[in-house]
Chain A
Amino acid sequence: MINLQLPIDAADIRKLKVGDEVLITGTMITARDAAHKYMIEEKPDFIRPYLENSLIYHCGPVVRKQDGEWQFVAAGPTTSIREEPYEGTVIQNYKVRGIIGKGGMGPKTLDALHEHGAVYLHAIGGMASYLAQTVKKVKEVFMLEEFGVPEAMWVIEVKEFPAVVTMDAHNHSLHTKIKSDSYAQARKLIHPVR
């Protein structure tokens, strides 16, 4: 198990490889569909400090407000591939060092990871109660009114958030391998040799 402390620079991120299991500690920000569209179309500058040398978490949490403070109640990853058209550009523009999500991403993102020094970290889908407990503090929230709770950009401080590197900065993707093996097996089942 590798401890990953945020912020992190490109040189350290390039040391990670596919299959590494990590525990993430530090400050990161959630962003999903509406936020990615916003980062590409409006290019907001105020979020730069939260993204530079940090991670984007693809997550739309369940939250509650207690004594005036936001808390994460359930916060597992959402499917990342929806951000494929945007993510490479976001990584480049905002100097993001990694993406946490589920399901993996495509060739455009893999290229960006390689070129700019970043990784894709796979969290476990449906592990929402557990992962919410690793969120020690909600520091800020942006675009809550405009996007609603799941789509807002939540700045969170996490401690020992578990994930697996499934795409690294060296053009390796676990998802590509699983896809090609399972595709071959499926073709055998669908078109048996008579």
Chain B
Amino acid sequence: MTTQVNEQTLEDQIYELIVRASTDLPDDVVRALKAARRTEPEGTPAKNVFGMLLQNIDLAKKNMTPICQDTGTNLYYVHYPTGMSTRQLQQVIERATVRATENSILRPNAVDPVSGKNSGNNIGIQHPNIHFEEWKNDHLEFRLLLKGGGCENVSAQYKLPDSELDAGRDLNGVYKTVIDAVEKAQGLGCAPGIIGIGIGGDRATSHLTAKVQLFKKIEDENPDEELASMEKRLYRDLNSLGIGPMGFGGKTTVLGVKIGSAHRVPASYFVSIAYMCWADRRHTLTVKNGEVIYD
């Protein structure tokens, strides 16, 4: 089956997806921030930080302005039906991106590492970053994450075994690397963070596996029992570090922990940690039989 795309309509829909991602924080993240505020004692900087973050979230939504000025790397994960042109889809995404940049929904964020020049319109090599995957369904799905540089800079990758951490090639070893990475991050990734973890793979797939965990909703349960229990243990122990929002100290250092895995070769055992700032800007656009759903 060949699916025809009305390019202008789709461009408008993707533009709307970008606007939502940049200006309207997902409900599950807002709920987690509100719950975190309740746990911090009155009069502490931690409590005040949450109060101000929530004010900013309301303001950004009302005025349709970016929640954070670092509108980040725009990471797309696109599922498309058989017969559709990914080249065409990429062009549509790029046009919507240019428009969102012109309208100050996105900051011009594509810098050529060789010349140092900012392209000015968010178009560049691997920028926006789009992953395409064909699926058996006959509808289109665009997942978009805006991930800022501050939290990307504190993301990490470990190779097990790690003698310094006394971390072997098992889930307990994974646990130790995550504690180490989040402690090292301090407040620099705009804590409280959401922690995506990728176990296994090669270096590149390990990082990607970690990153796509960030598309999951905070309240989602991991279907794998062992991983679900590790997520809970890490959530509890990371919050005992006392780093707190912005690194000011407090009970909330992370809002959630999500783990995924990919098969590895016998010689390698990578653990990747994708640190997402509290402004977990992600939304999904589904286009199905002319119907459009944003989540």
Contacts and interface: CB of A to CB of B under 8 A. Distances in A.
Given A73-B65, A128-B67, A149-B107, A178 B242 contact: yes
Q: Is the interface of A mostly helix, strand, loop or mixed?
A: mixed
Contact of A178 (B149, B190, B243): B243
Given A127-B52, A148-B108, A186-B179, 14 more contacts: A78-B150, A79-B150, A102-B246, A125-B187, A128-B67, A149-B108, A149-B120, A151-B118, A164-B45, A174-B248, A178-B244, A181-B242, A183-B183, A186-B241
Interface string A107-123: 00000000000000010
Interface residues of B, number: 55
Nearest to B250: A178
B49 interface: yes
Contact of B53 (A60, A126, A177): A126
Interface string B228-251: 000000000100111110111100
B180 interface: yes
A109 B249 CA distance: 21
Given A126-B68, A164-B248, A148 B111 contact: yes
Interface string B110-130: 010000111010000000000
A35 interface: no
Contacts of B45: 19, 21, 164
Top 3 closest pairs, chain A to chain B, by CB = A148-B118, A186-B183, A74-B66
A148 B69 contact: no
A150 B183 contact: no
Nearest to B233: A189
Interface in B43-68: 45, 48-49, 52-53, 55-56, 59-60, 63, 65-68
A178 B241 CA distance: 9
Interface in A60-81: 60-64, 73-76, 78-79, 81
Interface stretch (A5-13, A39-47, A129-137): A129-137
A59 B190 contact: no
A185 B69 contact: no
Given A125-B190, A127-B53, A178-B186, A150 B67 contact: no
Given A79-B188, A81-B188, A178-B247, A191 B55 contact: no
Contacts of A104: 186-187, 247
Contacts of B240: 185, 189
Contacts of B190: 102, 125-126
Nearest to A190: B176
Contact of A122 (B68, B165, B246): B246
Contact of B66 (A122, A128, A162): A128
Contacts of A103: 150, 186-188, 247
A124 interface: yes
Q: Is the interface of B mostly helix, strand, loop or mixed?
A: loop
Given A149-B118, A178-B249, A186-B183, A129 B108 contact: no
A57 to B, nearest CB: 12
A71 to B, nearest CB: 9
A67 to B, nearest CB: 15
Contacts of B249: 174, 177-178, 181
A37 B249 CA distance: 32
B278 interface: yes
B52 A182 contact: no
Interface centre among A19, A148, A166 (most CB of B within 10 A): A148
8 contacts: A21-B48, A61-B107, A74-B65, A104-B187, A124-B56, A148-B118, A175-B187, A178-B187
A78 B243 CA distance: 19
Given A75-B69, A148-B111, A148-B117, A182 B153 contact: no
A124 to B, nearest CB: 6
B65 A132 contact: yes
Interface centre among A122, A181, A182 (most CB of B within 10 A): A182
Nearest to A186: B183
Contacts of A125: 68, 150, 187, 190, 246, 277
B179 A129 contact: no
